[in-house]
Amino acid sequence: MSDLGKRAWWTRIWCIQELANAQVATFKCGKDEVDYVPYWAVSLYIQLFNSRALLDHPNADLVGMQKMLWLTNMLSDAFPSTLLGIRRVALVKGGHNVKRLLYKCNVVDANPTRIGATDPRDRVFALLGIANDEAAKAIVPNYALSCEEAYIMAARVLLMHGHDDILSLCRAREVCKNLPSWVPDWSAMNRKPWSIWDEDKLFNASNLPDGRNSSCLLNTSGEAIFSREITLDVVFVDTVQEVGHH
* Domain limits, the chain: 1-94, 119-246
Check pLDDT > 60 for residue 13. yes
Confidence tier at 144 by pLDDT (50, 70, 90): very high
pLDDT tens figures, 214-244 = 445 666 656 778 888 888 777 888 998 888 8
At what angle are helices 81-93 and 98-106 packed, to 10 degrees?
A: 170
d(CA 153, CA 175): 17
**What values do phi and psi take at 153, rounded to 5?**
-60, -45
Q: Which amino acid is at 223?
A: E
Helix (H) or strand (E) holding 33: strand 32-35
Length, in residues, of the chain: 246
Return the pLDDT at 211. 46
pTM (predicted TM-score): 0.74
For 223, other C-beta atoms within 10 Å of its C-beta total 14
pLDDT tens figures, 26-77 = 888 778 888 878 877 877 777 777 677 666 666 656 666 677 766 666 666 6
